[in-house]
């Protein structure tokens, strides 16, 4: 079963006693019984009654808000916007920025500042923003005069539009903060390590991905951001998730530096039974690379934000699955008794691997997940969607618990995200550093070349005992060759595959010495 835990308390929350909590939940229950105010949804009324302007904030109250909201019918957030914001193109939208002096906690000498983000373009849904200062909630109100609209002609009077999310700045170096995170759109958010560009994107919750009836996209309806202490290196963010099927209470603790870490605690309250749901989801772009250049006419050798999925499963095995841009939708499942970690990684860190002076894919973050507590049986699910453009996020990975969400029930999870150059835990095994696929003669054959690198590959005892353990289901393997390069700490394995009339094959390769693995396990799904 999913792990159950009490919501963590920040410094601001620690002062709240049982009387405050009971009073808040009583007001919340009363607001839902009485019904929403005119022109408002139940969610808006409930938020204002329990965690709105002037209310004492408590993580426990947020959990209770989510629980009670799950007993009411779903109301979608507002998406209507007045002119001229209804049909903004990308350039017009990115021209709208909050004026620097209006960002939250600007010039207060705190470790973070926050920029509210305007609605428009692809970000139409209204989100409420609150800050928690000295344990009390303060609403962040929309003000037309706090934004620079670029070349957009905006009327002098604009109603309260709410926001689409917010951007976080922190990790000051030489007195200058960098962008460390952005929460915007549905339940999407991003972060990065120092020196990186934004890339892979996290999801608060994944619902019904790959289902025939279509995916359901939950949304964060409101955020509560705790004011950080002076020069703090941690920012606490709370969020309320809402969708047709599930309501959820979230707590994020963001720490930025050489590596950005986001600790996430979530409690879910299903409105309806859900079997296909994902925890710690992430999405990325894989257009083409050395293992997949079919139909590509491009001056660059590769275009991708992530190069593969890595899994450290409950049996202690390290798995590397290169990503691909398939001809048809591909869904892969990696069954696990309880994962130790998984993530979408960018292993290509050489500029020459991309030769892209605008996108700099070699500086995109890897995102690694470490569960907190026992997640029980389930599977890591990988979805690869065909794309003919690099602007599409066409790869999705997440943990799918075996146990479904039950209507009227409750499920809690906790995990840590590392936005990094490489995961914090590295096995004492050779890693896959390259996968190349091309034509082999004759007929239906394909040639594969897989490079493994590691310190253990420079020693003679290991190399003399080294054996590639290779299998394909289905398919016929031939012409297996091994090239050791001890001076480069590298071993290259090459082989040909004859797939005959098959349209799918699962390949597996691991290096062994003395009957034990000395490399991670390379898995690859071939499709024509």
Residue 84: cis peptide before it, omega within 30 degrees of 0: yes
Q: Which residue has the tokens 């005119």?
A: 38
Alpha-carbon gap, residue 528 to 509, rounded angstroms: 20
Q: 269-282: buried (b, 16+ CB within 10 Å) or exposed (e) per residue?
A: bbbeebebbbbbbb
Which of 403, 413, 414, 412 lies closest to 273, judged by CA?
Answer: 403
Question: Do 129 and 194 fall within a single domain?
Answer: yes
Q: Is residue 441 part of a domain?
A: yes
Is the same domain home to 60 and 169? no
Q: Minimum mean pLDDT among 32-36, 87-91, 149-153, 236-240: which range? A: 32-36
460 SS3 class: helix
- Contact by Cβ (8 Å): 197, 273: no
Domain identity same for 207 and 340: yes
Give, in order, the Cα–Cα distances in Å from 483 to each of 192, 399, 519, 528.
37, 37, 15, 27
How far is it, in rounded angstroms, from Cα 180 to Cα 167?
8
The model's confidence at residue 42, banded by pLDDT at 50, 70 and 90, is confident
Same domain, 27 and 139: no
pLDDT band at 38 (very low <50, low <70, confident <90, very high): very low
- Rounded to an integer, what distance in angstroms lies between the CA atom of residue 161 and that of residue 50? 22
The region of weakest confidence among 17-21, 408-412, 417-421, 514-518 is 17-21
Domain boundary among 420, 448, 465: 420
Kindly give, in sequence order, each residue whose CB lies less than 8 Å from that of residue 63, ignoring residues fewer than 6 positions away.
7, 249, 267
Cα 332 to Cα 309: distance, rounded to the nearest angstrom: 11
pLDDT tens, position by position, 206-230: 999 999 899 999 999 999 999 998 8
84 lies in a domain? no
Q: What pLDDT is stored for residue 444 in this prediction?
A: 67
Beta strands in 285-363 (DSSP E): 286-288, 303-304, 308-312, 318-322, 330-336, 341-345
Residue 12 confidence (pLDDT) above 90: no
Q: Among positive and negative, which fits the CA dihedral 50, 51, 54, 55? A: positive
Q: How many C-beta atoms surround the C-beta of residue 35 within 10 A?
A: 11
- CA distances in angstroms from 32 to 44, 264, 409, listed in the order given: 10, 28, 19
- Token pair listed for 399: 């943990």
Among 360, 391, 420, which residue terminates a domain?
A: 420
Tokens encoding 273: 């039974």
Domain assignment present for residue 216? The answer is yes
Contact indicator for 239, 223 with CB cutoff of 8 Å = yes
Q: Are 399 and 342 in contact (CB under 8 A)?
A: yes
Task: Identify the residue whose tokens are 């869904």.
Answer: 331
Mean pLDDT of all residues in 125-142: 96
Q: How many CA atoms lie within 13 A of 138 on its CB side?
A: 9
Average pLDDT, the chain: 91
Residues 303 and 448 in one domain: no
Task: Tell me how many helices (H) and strands (E) the chain has.
Answer: 5, 33
The span from the CA of 216 to the CA of 201, in Å, is 17
| 165 and 288 together in one domain | yes
Q: What is the DSSP letter of 325?
A: -
Q: Which of 397, 420, 443 is the last residue of a domain?
A: 420
Q: Which letter does DSSP use for residue 260 in this model? A: E
Which domain CATH number covers 187?
A: 2.70.98.10
Mean predicted confidence (pLDDT) in 422-427:
90
171: which residues sit within 8 A by CB, 6+ positions away? 177, 178, 180, 194, 233, 256, 257, 260
Q: Of 39-43, 153-157, 185-189, 415-419, give the lowest mean pLDDT range.
A: 39-43
- Whether 507 and 446 map to the same domain: the answer is yes
pLDDT score recorded for residue 18: 44
Q: Considering all CA atoms of the chain, what is the largest pairwise distance in Å, rounded to the nearest integer?
A: 78
pLDDT > 70: percent of the chain: 92
Q: Is 388 among the domain residues?
A: yes
Q: Which two tokens stand for residue 255?
A: 């720490």
Q: Region 353-367: what's the mean pLDDT?
A: 97
Residues 257-295 have pLDDT tens digits of: 899 999 999 999 999 999 999 999 999 999 999 998 878
Domain assignment of residue 456, given as a range: 431-526
List C-alpha distances in Å: 51 to 34, 103, 157, 220, 438: 17, 22, 28, 15, 58
Predicted pLDDT at 513: 93
* Domain assignment present for 8: no
Same domain (yes/no): 481, 340:
no
CA separation for the pair 119, 82 (Å, rounded): 11
Q: How far apart are alpha carbons 58 and 9 in whole angstroms?
A: 8
CATH number at residue 513: 2.60.40.10
Residues 263, 359 within the same domain: yes
**pLDDT exceeds 50 at position 14:** no
Q: What are phi and psi of 111, to 5 degrees?
A: -75, -15
Query: 180 and 321 share a domain?
Result: yes
* Strands in 134-198 per DSSP E: 136-139, 147-148, 165-173, 176-184, 188-191
Same domain, 169 and 315: yes
User: What are the φ/ψ torsions at residue 89 (nearest 5 degrees)?
Assistant: -85, 175
Model pLDDT, residue 9: 34
Inside any domain, residue 1 = no
User: What's the pLDDT tens digit per position in 499-527?
Assistant: 888 889 999 999 999 999 999 999 999 98
Whether 392 is covered by a domain: the verdict is yes
Q: What is the pLDDT of residues 457-495, one digit of tens each?
A: 998 778 889 999 999 999 899 999 999 999 999 999 999
Domain count, the chain: 3
Higher pLDDT among residues 286 and 34, named by residue: 286
In this prediction, residues 309-325 reach a mean pLDDT of 96
d(CA 482, CA 439): 19
- Asked if the structure places residue 78 within a domain, the reply is no
Structure token pair of residue 162: 């709410």
What's the pLDDT score for residue 188? 98
Residues 490 and 464 in one domain: yes
- State the pLDDT at residue 174: 87
pTM of the predicted model over 0.75: yes
**pLDDT mean over 416-426:** 95
């Amino acid at each position: 079963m999913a792990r159950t835990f009490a919501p963590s308390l920040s410094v601001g929350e620690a002062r709240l006693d049982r009387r405050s909590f009971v009073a808040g939940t009583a007001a919340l229950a009363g607001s839902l019984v009485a019904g929403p105010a005119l022109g408002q949804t139940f969610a808006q009324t409930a938020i204002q009654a329990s965690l709105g302007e002037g209310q004492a904030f408590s993580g426990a109250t947020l959990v209770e808000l989510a629980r009670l909201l799950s007993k009411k019918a779903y109301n979608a957030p507002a998406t209507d916007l007045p002119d001229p914001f209804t049909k903004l193109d990308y350039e017009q939208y990115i021209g709208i920025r909050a004026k620097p002096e209006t960002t939250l906690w600007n010039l207060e000498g705190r470790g973070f500042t926050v920029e509210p983000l305007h609605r428009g373009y692809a970000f139409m849904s209204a989100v409420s923003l609150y800050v928690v200062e000295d344990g009390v909630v303060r609403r962040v109100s929309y003000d037309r005069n706090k934004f620079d609209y670029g070349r957009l002609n905006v009327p002098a009077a604009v109603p309260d539009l709410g926001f689409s999310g917010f951007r976080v700045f922190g990790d000051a170096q030489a007195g200058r903060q960098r962008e460390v995170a952005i929460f915007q759109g549905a339940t999407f958010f991003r972060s990065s390590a120092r020196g990186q560009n934004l890339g892979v994107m996290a999801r608060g919750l994944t619902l019904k991905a790959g289902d025939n009836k279509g995916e359901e996209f939950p949304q964060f309806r409101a955020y509560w951001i705790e004011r950080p202490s002076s020069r703090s290196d941690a920012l606490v963010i709370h969020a309320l998730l809402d969708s047709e099927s599930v309501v959820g209470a979230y707590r994020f603790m963001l720490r930025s530096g050489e590596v950005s870490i986001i600790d996430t605690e979530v409690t879910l309250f299903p409105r309806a039974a859900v079997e296909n749901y994902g925890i710690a989801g992430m999405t990325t772009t894989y257009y083409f690379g050395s293992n997949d250049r079919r139909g590509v006419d491009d001056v660059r050798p590769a275009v991708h934000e992530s190069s593969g999925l890595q899994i450290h499963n409950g049996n202690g095995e390290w798995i590397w699955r290169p990503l691909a841009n398939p001809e048809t939708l591909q869904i892969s499942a990696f069954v696990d008794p309880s994962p130790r970690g998984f993530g979408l990684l960018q292993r290509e860190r050489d500029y020459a691997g991309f030769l892209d002076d605008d996108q700099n894919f070699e500086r995109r973050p890897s995102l690694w997940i470490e569960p907190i507590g026992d997640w029980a049986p389930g599977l890591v699910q990988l979805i690869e969607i065909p794309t003919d453009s690099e602007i599409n996020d066409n790869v999705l990975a997440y943990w799918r618990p075996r146990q479904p969400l039950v209507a009227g029930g409750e499920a809690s999870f906790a995990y840590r995200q590392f936005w990094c150059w490489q995961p914090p835990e590295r096995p004492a095994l050779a890693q896959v550093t390259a996968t190349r696929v091309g034509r082999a003669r004759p007929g239906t054959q394909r040639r594969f070349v897989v490079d493994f690198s590691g310190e253990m590959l420079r020693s003679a005892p290991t190399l003399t005992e080294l054996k590639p353990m290779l299998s394909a289901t289905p398919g016929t393997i031939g012409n297996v060759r091994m090239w050791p390069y001890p001076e480069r700490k590298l071993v290259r394995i090459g082989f040909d595959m004859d797939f005959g009339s098959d349209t799918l094959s699962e390949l597996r390769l691991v290096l062994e010495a003395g009957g034990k693995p000395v490399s991670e396990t390379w898995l690859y799904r071939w499709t024509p």
